[in-house]
Amino acid sequence: MASILVAGEYSGTVRNAFALEGHDAVSCDLLPTEIAGPHYTGDVRDILGDGWDLMIAHPPCTYLCSSGLHWNKKRPERDALTEEALEFVRLLMRAPIKHIAIENPIGCISTKIRKPDQIIQPWQFGHDASKAT
């Protein structure tokens, strides 16, 4: 049984999928969970060092994904918010957790930090949509 942190999730969907497989899974978000279960409502930085085996992180994509980055040219004040979001991703990547997966749509993480190990599409999992993630 692994101890799993699902960061940036309030739905409880990913957390509960791992729990159904027998893992000790906890979701974390600034918002309360939508589905009852182990959930930390607050800043993930508060619990990053709590001895997790695996973290699946979903950092907010507003200032990271390509679909939003075009606004930075029209609204230069967004550049600082993009840098702040990138620093948050770096913090997640440096967390004292052996296995880390960070999910985000295509954007500046791959050019400012590192290329992704994997790119998936929703249609690969039965959804009628394309959105490289």
Sequence ranges of the domains in the chain: 3-123
Distance CA 44, CA 124 (A): 30
Q: Considering the entire predicted model, what is its pTM? A: 0.90
The mean pLDDT value for 49-78 works out to 89
Would you say residue 99 has pLDDT above 90? yes
pLDDT of residue 46: 98
Q: Which residue has the tokens 């930075």?
A: 72
pLDDT of residue 2: 97
What are the respective helix, strand and coil percentages of the chain, to the nearest 5? Answer: 30, 20, 50
pLDDT class of 6 with cuts at 50, 70, 90: very high
pLDDT class of 100 with cuts at 50, 70, 90: very high
**Who's near 97: CB < 8 A, 6+ residues apart?**
5, 48, 52, 53, 54, 55
Instruction: Find, among 59, 57, 55, the residue nearest to 98 by Cα.
Output: 55
pLDDT of residue 24: 98
